[in-house]
Amino acid sequence: MLLKIRRANGSYKVKLRQLCQRDQQNWMSLWQGYQAFYQVEIDPQITEKTFSRLLDPDEAMYCLVIEEQEKLIGFVHFIFHRSTWTIGDYCYLQDLFVAPNARVKGLGRKLIEAVYEKAAERQCSRVYWLTHESNEQARRLYDNIAINAGFIQYRKNLE
């Protein structure tokens, strides 16, 4: 799907599409940028497994990317799963990242809206995600396109 993005000096088109095998190098670059943003290092073995899961049609994990001139500039990872509260699935938007030089162009919003569409196609009853409380720029966007449900995450790592 072609998206028209507006800039101060005119507009340009980018492509929104599903991740494919040939994207591995470009996706890896964005994935490393995402990890740097959150100040984490994910084991390369986990990264390899994640990439293969995102491509596997039998997995419930998906990835949409935004491509500009054959280079990826953004991605969103999402997972469909059951809920005890509804008949329809939920959609968990797990990771969203836009390259720093491509931000403030509405691409994050376009990626989230594309997940909304995929979730509606699957008759999900909810799309939800987490973000760090310090991620102010993203939270400004999120406050305009979703509801902050007020939940606090608790976690116990088992690995």
Report which of 156, 150, 107 is spatially closest to residue 128, judged by C-alpha positions: 150
Q: Specify if 28 maps to a domain.
A: yes
The verdict on pTM exceeding 0.85 is yes
Q: Specify if 156 maps to a domain.
A: no
Q: Domain range holding 122?
A: 2-145
In the DSSP assignment, the letter for residue 17 is E
Q: With H, G, I as helix, E, B as strand and everything else as coil, classify residue 89.
A: coil
Number of domains observed in the structure of the chain: 1
Q: Are 150 and 116 in contact (CB under 8 A)?
A: no
Measured CA to CA, the distance from residue 94 to residue 77 in angstroms comes to 6
**pLDDT tens digits for range 91-150:** 999 999 999 888 877 899 999 999 999 999 999 999 999 988 888 888 888 999 998 888
Q: CATH number of the domain that 17 lies in?
A: 3.40.630.30
Q: Specify if 64 maps to a domain.
A: yes
**pLDDT tens digits for range 23-71:** 999 999 999 999 999 899 999 999 999 999 999 999 999 999 999 888 9
Measured CA to CA, the distance from residue 98 to residue 72 in angstroms comes to 9
